[in-house]
Amino acid sequence: MPRGSGLSFFPLDWVLIDSWRVAGVPLEAVLKGIDDAFEKWRSRKTKRRLVNSLAYCAQAVLEVAQRTPNRSGTTDGPFDSPFAAGEISRYLLSAASVLRERTEPAILELASSLESLAAEAENQPGNLEELELRLTAMEDKLVAIVRSSQGDEELFQIHQTLNSELKPYRGKMTADQLAALERRYLEAALLERAKLPRLSLFYLH
């Protein structure tokens, strides 16, 4: 984090980070883009205000990402997992236990699937990429279930908050990028309101 920048993370900033993850933006592109954005800020003769949102770096990150080769599928042989099998298993079981508190059959079905994945991870750690794809699909289904149960007023409130928080991003991102960010924000807000967990390994702390 650049010193003296005043940069701090707001809820929408975390959604922006998650959208980069979903889009496959390499970590080195994110870090380089942030550095480039602040170098540009430092070079300005007049600094009207400190940068206090990750939105300031969004365009620079995407520009670096476009110049960064896609390394997917280029590794030779297995690589070390950033998580131990036990960590993954406990994470999935914890999410499943929260889902078990609900009564909707579709959500309880997702809980059973998480428990099965937890058993597989504990006994024989599999391909993390495949596991992440499964969890992403399950989270999409969970969001759809929650969204269908929301009233018009609740959805309006979420969109109203979203519109307010998106103000620093407008003008710094394309329409497609903003649409993706809105979608990720809506998903996060719906799950948070329903007190349901995110399922991606991205949230394994």
Q: What type of residue is 144?
A: A
Residues 50-84 pLDDT 10s: 555 676 677 777 777 777 765 444 444 444 556 78
Mean pLDDT of 172-183: 77
The pLDDT value recorded for residue 121 is 85
CB under 8 Å to 184, separation ≥6 — which residues?
Answer: 15, 18, 19, 22
Q: Would the pLDDT of 195 be above 70? A: yes
Residues 90-148 pLDDT 10s: 999 999 999 999 999 999 999 999 999 999 887 766 677 888 889 989 999 999 999 88
The pLDDT value recorded for residue 78 is 43
> Which residues on adjacent β-strands are paired with residue 173?
170
The pLDDT value recorded for residue 82 is 67
Q: What is the pTM of this model?
A: 0.66
The dihedral through the CA atoms of 142, 148, 154, 159 has a sign that is: positive
Whole-angstrom distance, CA of residue 200 vs CA of residue 13: 17
CA–CA distances in Å: residue 199 to residues 57, 60, 89, 110, 184: 27, 29, 12, 11, 13
Q: Would the pLDDT of 29 be above 90? A: no
Q: Would the pLDDT of 3 be above 60? A: no
Whole-angstrom distance, CA of residue 57 vs CA of residue 104: 41
